[in-house]
Amino acid sequence: MTAQADTWLPLSPAERAVALEVLTRGPLSRSELARRRGLSAGSLTRLTKPLIESGLLVEAPTGSTARTEARQGRPSQPLDVVAESRAFAGFKITEDTVYGVVTTLRSDVVACRDVPLPGRDPEQVVAAVGALTDGFARDFPSLCGLGIGLGGRAQDRCVVDESAFLGWRDVPLGRLVRRRTGLPTVVDNDVSALVEAESWFGAGRDLDRFAVLTIGAGLGYGLVSGGRRVETAEDGLGVGRFWIVDPHGPLTPDGARGSAISLLTIPSIRYQVRAATGEDATYEQILARAAEGDPLPARVIGEAARALGTLVAQIANFAAPQKILLAGEGVGLVDVAGPAIEDAVRANRHPRADPVDLETKVSDFHDWARGAAVLAIQVLVLGPGGPRSGR
């Protein structure tokens, strides 16, 4: 496979900003686009003319979007991108499976496929990703880039510095996959990828300050400030091990006593129930028994709920986000113990503080793979630096 992605470069910064506005928020009428970018009608015409002539932007049918404004005289057609003009592959790598999706330019998922991993050696993972990419490329000839998300830390969006669950250190995964597929490849921490996807196309769109908290096999946190994800040296390192929520809380194999990891993650919740009962119950079974009033599962889930509410309150207190998105495989906790979570949030906030805008999203591994695809979209739109190049 030798396909190469074209890019939106070179564009002037002003042209790219206009095109990105339409991509992430369109279709947009010209008046709305001018308002959002602070441009005069003449300046907008000057910037959009070459974008339309090149085919990057198109005039969408009038009435195709709620954003189209009623106008006197001849109606103005909203501007849009052709989302289906390019396809992107995204992959989420777990301990035993590679989950893959194909998305449009606007990150809408149009295909999902998964393959089991026979092992965790880099060669086996690259082979699995390559096989999925081959199939995607046959079905989607416009495939022009791919992104990979995994639990761990990546350097330069190419080298996996450390991934505990894969047992990797300093694996040049991006280079290996690009050599196998011929496609531009970007690799990053899976939570970072999810934050980028929600900031561009999801719950955080249009927000200046936005936080994501994920609970599942692990615990993840990401923050957007000024419209950009805040990057830190701790990304992908599992900082929840050091967030002490209750110093007298449970001691589990992963995380310090009473840490967010020991209280909230699915493995830790299952461990607590197994240690007390000897039964290896699934997370879903534990939630169901807690909802039915079974004392031991109810106690464990109650502690997890209070821990979650405390974490949400702390994020709201210190980061002051306009919204907090709670995502991951573990958010079923909210359905079972929502009132306890709300009580803990209120108990840890100033009485006059604004209510926390908490949104929940049940995420499966294909959602995480979609986040990785957004990394590839960002490379196309912003260049190899991705979101570091500016939004």
Does one domain contain both 372 and 354?
A: no
Whether residues 242 and 323 fall in one domain? yes
* Exposure class string for 188-211: b at 16+ Cβ within 10 A, else e: bbbbbbbbbbbbbbbbbeebebbb
Between CA 172 and CA 159 the distance in angstroms is 4
What per-residue confidence (pLDDT) applies to 341?
A: 97
68 and 214: one domain?
A: no
φ, ψ of residue 315 to 5 degrees: the values are -60, -45
Backbone angles phi, psi at 212, to 5 degrees: -125, 130
Whichever domain contains 34, its CATH number is 1.10.10.10
Q: How far is CA 287 from the centre of its chain?
A: 25
Are residues 380 and 314 both part of a single domain? Answer: no
Same domain, 243 and 219: yes
- The phi, psi pair for 57, rounded to 5°, reads -110, 150
By residue range, what is the domain housing residue 247? 205-362
Last residue of a domain, one of 55, 83, 111: 83
In angstroms, the CA 131 to CA 386 distance is 26
Locate 149 and state its tokens.
Answer: 């998300």
Number of H helices, E strands in the chain: 12, 15
User: Residue 70 — very low, low, confident or very high, per pLDDT cuts 50/70/90?
Assistant: very low
Residues 12-25 have pLDDT tens digits of 889 999 999 999 99
Do residues 338 and 302 make contact, with C-beta atoms less than 8 angstroms apart?
A: no
Confidence of residue 348 (pLDDT cuts 50, 70, 90): very high
324 part of a folded domain = yes
User: Each residue of 238-295: pLDDT tens digit?
Assistant: 677 788 999 888 988 888 899 999 999 999 999 999 999 999 999 999 999 999 999 9
pTM of the predicted model as reported, rounded to 2 decimal places? 0.89
Read off the DSSP letter of residue 356.
P
CB atoms within 10 A of CB 362: 14
**390 pLDDT exceeds 70?**
no
Between 364 and 100, whose confidence is greater?
100
Predicted pLDDT at 235: 74
Q: What is the pLDDT of residue 73?
A: 41
**What's the average model confidence in pLDDT over 96-116?**
97
Tally of domains within the chain: 3
